[in-house]
A = this chain, B = another copy of it.
């Protein structure tokens, strides 16, 4: 609790009640993928009623401080990932679920990027059948 307050302050975020609750959940050491909706549901189960607007604000605030990653998954929702290291994913469309790939992968045979463009990062998405 104290740690989380410190942690928020260190990231120039006021440790408000809501942010502390959300940060405690998100940064408990277990990497998570959340959307505003799944996070809201989880918080309700934890008896923490926090408005959707605040959840959106908080996710974006955390994202802006680099505490969360936005995922490049096509879906109606925006996914936020507590694992901010560069990594890849398995994706099961059927289950609408993402699974981290935490091993190093190499992509070979990459063509040159277009003129005046530089490669920022490479994302690999492994689609699962079932």
A122 to B125, Cβ gap below 8 A? yes
Q: How far is the CB of A23 from chain B (nearest CB, A)?
A: 24
Smallest Cβ-Cβ distance to A99: which chain B residue: B114
Does A46 lie at the interface of the complex (its beta carbon under 8 Å from any beta carbon of B)?
Answer: no
Q: Is the CB of A109 within 8 A of B119?
A: no
The chain B residue with its CB closest to the CB of A109 is B105
Per the CB 8 Å criterion, the residue count for chain A at the interface is 38
Q: Which residues of B contact A70 (CB under 8 A)?
A: 74
Q: Which residue in B92, B109, B120 is a CB contact (below 8 Å) of A127?
A: B120
Beyond A74-B74, A90-B117, list 8 extra A-B contacts (CB 8 Å).
A99-B114, A107-B107, A114-B128, A116-B130, A118-B130, A123-B124, A123-B125, A123-B127
